[in-house]
Amino acid sequence: MIKAGIIGASGYTGGELLRLLVNHPNVKLELATSRSLAGKPVTSTHRHLEGFLDLNYENPDSEDIRERCDVVFLAVPHGSAMNYVPELLDGNTKVVDLSADYRLETSEFEKIYGIKHSDPRNAVYGLVELHPEVAKENFVANPGCFPTGSILAAAPLAAAGLIDIAVFDSKTGISGAGISPTQNSHYPNLAENIIPYKLTAHRHRAEIVQELTGLEGKLRNINFTPHVIPSIRGIFTTAHLFTKETLSTDDLKTIYEEFYRDRPFIRFPSGVPSLTAVRGSNFCDISFEADKENNRVVVLSAIDNLVKGASGQAIQNMNLMFGLDETCGLWMPATAP
Amino acid sequence: MIKAGIIGASGYTGGELLRLLVNHPNVKLELATSRSLAGKPVTSTHRHLEGFLDLNYENPDSEDIRERCDVVFLAVPHGSAMNYVPELLDGNTKVVDLSADYRLETSEFEKIYGIKHSDPRNAVYGLVELHPEVAKENFVANPGCFPTGSILAAAPLAAAGLIDIAVFDSKTGISGAGISPTQNSHYPNLAENIIPYKLTAHRHRAEIVQELTGLEGKLRNINFTPHVIPSIRGIFTTAHLFTKETLSTDDLKTIYEEFYRDRPFIRFPSGVPSLTAVRGSNFCDISFEADKENNRVVVLSAIDNLVKGASGQAIQNMNLMFGLDETCGLWMPATAP
Amino acid sequence: MIKAGIIGASGYTGGELLRLLVNHPNVKLELATSRSLAGKPVTSTHRHLEGFLDLNYENPDSEDIRERCDVVFLAVPHGSAMNYVPELLDGNTKVVDLSADYRLETSEFEKIYGIKHSDPRNAVYGLVELHPEVAKENFVANPGCFPTGSILAAAPLAAAGLIDIAVFDSKTGISGAGISPTQNSHYPNLAENIIPYKLTAHRHRAEIVQELTGLEGKLRNINFTPHVIPSIRGIFTTAHLFTKETLSTDDLKTIYEEFYRDRPFIRFPSGVPSLTAVRGSNFCDISFEADKENNRVVVLSAIDNLVKGASGQAIQNMNLMFGLDETCGLWMPATAP
Amino acid sequence: MIKAGIIGASGYTGGELLRLLVNHPNVKLELATSRSLAGKPVTSTHRHLEGFLDLNYENPDSEDIRERCDVVFLAVPHGSAMNYVPELLDGNTKVVDLSADYRLETSEFEKIYGIKHSDPRNAVYGLVELHPEVAKENFVANPGCFPTGSILAAAPLAAAGLIDIAVFDSKTGISGAGISPTQNSHYPNLAENIIPYKLTAHRHRAEIVQELTGLEGKLRNINFTPHVIPSIRGIFTTAHLFTKETLSTDDLKTIYEEFYRDRPFIRFPSGVPSLTAVRGSNFCDISFEADKENNRVVVLSAIDNLVKGASGQAIQNMNLMFGLDETCGLWMPATAP
């Protein structure tokens, strides 16, 4: 059994890691940390896990974590993970970092996040569908939630060198904003409404740019605008992609199915994707339609932001890092409706 | 492997049986029927199951069903199950009926549902926590969703002979009304609203009366009023129970924990139960508070109407009928938040 | 024109007073106060009022308020209104207090709220349908939101001496909890859920008891349990009333229509009341059904908590205090759907 | 008083016309028609209007309508209005048509809607902010809901000849789909989800193209993709506009404020627009942000689809057609929160 620890386990991504790991056939949950809640039962905050876990939150030092865990998931704020990684990796422990600290080139990270990076090492960007090489790594930077939905929607066309302009209009559930109440999560503000934010300069854009230009070096005109919708979970991305050639919907079908051949968590539903059909699951559902008049294609993707957009993808990475099938512990359908 | 068939698989309870059974370690899904959809893939209606099932809907006769299935779940409308049961039971096939046809005494059924019963056999009422004898049965009547929440909330006090008057004020998610659009499920009617119905004469009241008077013969004043709330899943029951003696919250704790000792799906959360903490799971979470001034106790219960209130409970029954642990295939936490 | 001031105008009830008063034909908005926002435009927090108001928040002393305003609405926290009332009333200014400070007998207030009362004067309880004598007052205590819905649902039967036991199971929108984010208002906690609280000891119960026993001295067994539902506005009350005599639904119709004859804001819809049909309006919609078997009647009431449950009712009081028709500025239909 | 009739009054736009007209100071409601409900009270379907209306649905012929009404609002399905218009206009009655029948050039209408047009007359497109000439007309084609939000978002830049490519990503509340339950309006399908449809070929695109090319003849690359969000009311439009020149946010401010100078229902909120801040009102709130890197500007608009997107705008047109101030009967703030 793989002994797993979660650093920063009291938030939504921590809770989701726990939910998925309690039934993972190859994992034993060894450790869940929280500075402020140390000593209290994990189920005092994650009440739905009552009966599945007998852990208390702890606040151990890095050496203790390293000795007790074969794998550590970092579910800590941006700028904080870099304080754990060097010491945790100083042994045989593998690390999946769910923060943004190692997703971008160091200089790009420093520019976008306004934080001096104390540990400028490289990490593989753990979007398994683009980077199967995570299987050889001890350390993986788990992608951001928005980039996961946007990159997966556009990667096949980007890799084919067909995109001229990309507009990602994304709609997220509010759980992406975290477990603490905010103005945006205040029910009277969000219900019956939609809240756009960071219209032109959301930090996740840098990940999208990095990965899509990694597929096609000349792609420059990449735009990303996120909105919060009245939903707990899910990220729905409407990608308006202007192409260099006129494509048909059949062309798209060929390109996408070929690109994602044998990727178990990519599905192409008949009809449009639905947040309902992925809720609680690790799938990314994708569909598309060509608009020949304006050389535009509309690509839609739906993920659960807490699963494929965070904790599920982290476990998918862990599975590969330990030589397991990538679906291990993740092969469950959505809780729909 | 137990070969399982679902009769009437295209609705929400059918879909939920499928969701839970695709990962059940001891079950092989053999058959899913739908008259109107025969020949079409099951995933054409239950899109979230894409990748998990390779079944088409069928419309076989009873002999065929009986020969192919070790267990059959009837997810058909009230009044329809009685047409299947006699033929299905004419062999070794076991049957769990999710309809109301066999939950009540025949005469009571005919009075409440206004339908002449063509098969007046007895069935065990499959609320496992009250009727562990389902383990010896080939045929079980799976409880209604509202009665599950109400009976579990009141049973310990009823069994102790302590209830004088019971008022069950229940709040259900709309999925209980089925997969077809209705006035109540029309988003502009339900969102930002609450819709009471059948204020004094809902048919599920008869099940509550039957089971509680089964525990305490003299209990008569039992009242039930349901409401639909803006939620997809879940039944939340507020039981206002006037007691014959003045009880403290500690008394209640003793009575409830004793009554439900070793029942794996009954939990007593700290704080109040939450539909979120049971969503997608088979748990019934219960809490209580005594109001000494008026000899009232307030008992709260939360279930997922499609799981513990229907399909999960049906599988719990199946597990016991086949000598399996009752948690088999059902031991998963809620998808929260 | 009546010059009106609002003390504590930055919250939801303040905003709702403003929304209703900007179009009141007999009122000129003179003053809106907020300590923390003094100097800022009122529309910086109440953005929907842009174009209707040219006021900045102020923080004047009581003398200034008294000199500038013919009427003052106190939309301040419980325990705070008592600091304003004596000075504001020391002149010709009339006051409608939306806080709880003067709703109860002083000793009862001190017991329930745990606050020493510094100004033990009496005030009329401004539920106009029971207390038309507000028309002769300079000072009125505006009722709580829950009590408004509960008392109006039960008053006709209480006045007839027919109630034996009353159970008020109330469901409120979250705006009643205020404009600041909280755990209960956090979208992932409230959406797809229902949150009961203060199961047996909510402070509003004391108002219900006071008013119903005021109608019928011997009525003792009064119970109140509130829940928050996923709705911004609205209070829906399900009153389970056990009666001393067996009543029919027709009896109820006679009793209720007679009791509320000529009350413009009480309506008896066909079918059940709906939060949608009262949203944004000052109506209280009521319906009822008798359950002869158990001598129970179910009475349902629906109000908008911010209008009839707070700010609209306050203006209804003001109208009468100034000799206006009580519907003045309030005669608008709900924003439905 | 202007005597007004509503043809097809039983749906949501009919109900909204009624809600707004019952308090319009210059209008007397004379007539509300419905074939299937003739003889029944209007409040039997629009329950929130109880107390405001004493009309029964009727089903009169055109001559009768013409004689009784100074103005007629057509709230009938597309393809049906053309059967009323010629006869209704054969006198002094003025007509505001809320259907699509006269919004487009006849040949364009026939192509887009697949319906042969029986009355190929011209009508002014009643978007008052672009077409103040409605004041001189007896007949006006009221704009579609989506085009209202999209055109108002882009018109200032289109008129300045600055748009190269326009992508309108719109999000609507479900009331736009009508009062009858559908798959999209089924609560379990829409709640916690977002449903895109007509990804590249929604019929409303033709109106957007017509009006924007009317402002700037060479503008060709216009794209429109709608989605339904979990909201009853509202249309939120995210316009991604690629411009021929690099603009700053200050440039946008100048252009927009100048273009909409003295338009009472256009507001520029600080921060982003909100469906909450326009709910129930006739406002269109607009904000914008320039993305200099890609010559993109993001313009956001929020309207209430049933008010500014339909019935409110129709009354705004009526006001001008009768020489009234355009705000008459419409000058009320949103019901927020």
ipTM: 0.97
- Taking contacts as CB-CB distances below 8 angstroms, the residues of chain B near A40 are none
Tell me the CA distances in angstroms from D35 to D32, D59, D96, one per residue in order.
10, 6, 20
User: Do B106 and B161 have their domain in common?
Assistant: no
What is the total residue count of chain B?
337
Q: Is C213 helix (H, G, I), strand (E, B) or coil?
A: helix
Q: How many CB pairs under 8 A join B and C?
A: 140
Q: Is residue A323, in this structure, part of any structural domain at all? A: no
pLDDT in tens, A280-323: 999 999 999 999 999 999 999 999 999 999 999 999 999 999 99
Whether residues C153 and C273 fall in one domain: yes
Tell me, yes or no, whether D133 lies in a domain: no
Residue among B19, B232, B281 minimizing CB distance to A333:
B19
Task: Tell me which residues of chain C have a C-beta less than 8 Å from any C-beta of chain A.
Answer: 12, 174-175, 179-183, 185-188, 190-192, 230-232
List the single residue in B with minimal CA-CA distance to D191.
B232
Query: C210 with C156, same domain?
Result: yes
C230 and C89, same domain (yes or no): no
**Annotated catalytic residue C328:** no
Q: How many domains does chain D have?
A: 2
Buried b or exposed e, range B116-136, using 16+ CB within 10 angstroms? ebeeeeebbbbbbbbbeebbe
pLDDT at C142: 98
Query: Rounded mean pLDDT of B70-78?
Result: 97
Positions in chain C short of pLDDT 50: none
Query: Is A50's CB within 8 Å of B334's CB?
Result: no
The DSSP code sequence of D222-247 is: EEEEEEE-S-SS-EEEEEEEEESS--
Distance from CA of C182 to the nearest CA of A (A): 6
Report if residue C228 sits inside a domain.
Answer: yes
Give me the pLDDT at residue B138, please. 98
Sheet holding C139-141, edge to edge: C27-33, C2-7, C71-74, C94-97, C139-141, C124-125
Q: What is the Cα–Cα distance from D50 to C277, expressed in whole angstroms?
A: 9
DSSP B73: E
The last residue of a domain, from among A61, A89, A122: A122
Q: Which amino acid would we find at residue B35?
A: R
Kindly state the tokens that stand for C91: 């002149």
Tell whether the torsion through CA atoms of C106, C112, C116 and C117 is positive or negative.
Answer: negative
**Average pLDDT, integer, range B228-235:** 98
Give the 3-state DSSP-derived string for C266-317, with helices as H, strands as E and coil as C.
Answer: EECCCCCCCCCCCCCCCCEEEEEEEEHHHCEEEEEEEECCCHHHHHHHHHHH
Q: What per-residue confidence (pLDDT) applies to B259?
A: 98
Closest to C266 (Cα-Cα) out of C176, C131, C103, C153:
C153
In a domain, B337, yes or no: no
A141: part of which helix (H) or strand (E)? strand A139-141
Of chain D, the percentage scoring pLDDT greater than 90 comes to 99
B chain contacts of residue C232, beta-carbon cutoff 8 Å:
192
Percent of chain B with pLDDT over 90: 99
D12 within a domain of the structure (yes/no): yes
Q: What is the pLDDT of residue D149?
A: 98
* Sole residue written with tokens 């199971």: C169
Q: Please give the residue of chain A at the shortest CA–CA distance from D223.
A: A294
Q: Tell me if B276 and C189 make a contact (CB, 8 A cut-off).
A: yes
d(CA A212, CA B333): 37
pLDDT band at B220 (very low <50, low <70, confident <90, very high): confident
Supply the pLDDT for residue B12. 98
Mean pLDDT, rounded, of chain D = 97
> pLDDT value at position B20?
98
Pair A226, A283 in one domain: yes
Q: What is the CATH number of the domain that holds D162?
A: 3.30.360.10
In tens, the pLDDT along B302-326 reads 999 999 999 999 999 999 999 999 9
C71-102 confidence digits (pLDDT tens): 999 999 999 999 999 999 999 999 999 999 99
Q: Are residues D104 and D153 in the same domain?
A: no
Beta-carbon separation of C49 and D333 below 8 A: yes
Q: D32: which strand partners?
A: D6
| Partner-chain contact D174 B183, CB within 8 Å | no
User: Which entry of D69, D145, D284, D328 is annotated as an active-site residue?
Assistant: D145
Q: What was the pLDDT predicted at B299?
A: 98
Cβ–Cβ gap B51/A264 under 8 Å: yes
Q: Are residues C157 and C262 in the same domain?
A: yes
Which residues have CB under 8 Å from C293's CB, separation 6+?
none
Residue with tokens 């599905």: A267
Both structure tokens of B36: 């109107």
D187/B186 touch (CB, cutoff 8 Å), yes or no: yes
Q: Who contacts D64 (Cβ-Cβ below 8 Å, separation ≥6)? A: none
Q: What is the CA radius of gyration of chain D?
A: 19
Q: For D24-43, what is the mean pLDDT?
A: 98
The closest alpha carbon to A65, from A139, A7, A14, belongs to A7
Q: Please check whether residue B135 lies inside any domain of the structure.
A: no
Q: Are residues C81 and C187 in the same domain?
A: no
What are the distances in angstroms from CA A138 to CA A17, A83, A124, B137, C186?
A: 19, 17, 10, 53, 37
Q: What is the pLDDT of residue A217?
A: 87
Residue B101 lies in a domain: yes
**Residues D151 and D274 placed together within one structural domain of the fold:** yes
* CATH code of the domain covering residue A107: 3.40.50.720
- Pair C11, C88 in one domain: yes
Nearest CA-CA distance, residue B113 and chain D, Å: 27
Query: Which chains sit next to B, with 3 or more Cβ pairs under 8 A?
Result: A, C, D
| A119-157 tens-digit pLDDT | 999 899 999 999 999 999 999 999 999 999 999 999 999
d(CA B182, CA B180): 6
Q: Which of D122, D155, D173 is the last residue of a domain?
A: D122
Q: How far is A298 from chain D (nearest CA, A)?
A: 7
- Cβ-nearest to A19 among B274, B331, B333: B333
pLDDT digits (tens, 9 = 90+) for D283-313: 999 999 999 999 999 999 999 999 999 999 9
Distance CA C149, CA B126 (A): 40
Nearest to B199 by CA among D296, D260, C137, C249: C249
Tell whether D313 is covered by a domain: no
Pair (C192, C151) in one structural domain: yes
The pLDDT of residue A328 is: 98
Match 């067996």 to its residue by tokens.
C246
Kindly state the average pLDDT of the residues B205-221. 95
Residue in A with minimal Cα distance to C12: A188
The answer to whether D272 contacts A221, with C-beta atoms less than 8 Å apart, is: no
Q: So what's the pLDDT on residue C217?
A: 87
- For residue C24, what are the domain limits? 2-122
Would you say the pTM of this structure is higher than 0.95? yes
**CB-CB neighbors (< 8 A) of B278 in chain C:** none
pLDDT for res B217: 87
Q: What are phi and psi of B136, to 5 degrees?
A: -100, 5
Residue A220: the pLDDT is: 87
CB of D184 within 8 A of CB of D198? no
> What are the DSSP calls for C115-178, one per residue?
---S-----EE--TTT-GGGGG-SEEEPPPHHHHHHHHHHHHHHHTT-EEEEEEEEEE-GGGG-
Contacts (Cβ under 8 Å, ≥6 apart) of A160? A216, A255
| Strands A124-125 and A139-141, sheet pairing | parallel
Same domain, A58 and A164: no
Cα gap C209→D152, rounded to integer Å: 54
- Give C-chain residues touching B171 at CB under 8 angstroms: 171, 194, 227, 229
Which of C187, C230, C231 has the CB atom closest to A174's CB atom?
C187
Pairing of strands A94-97, A71-74: parallel
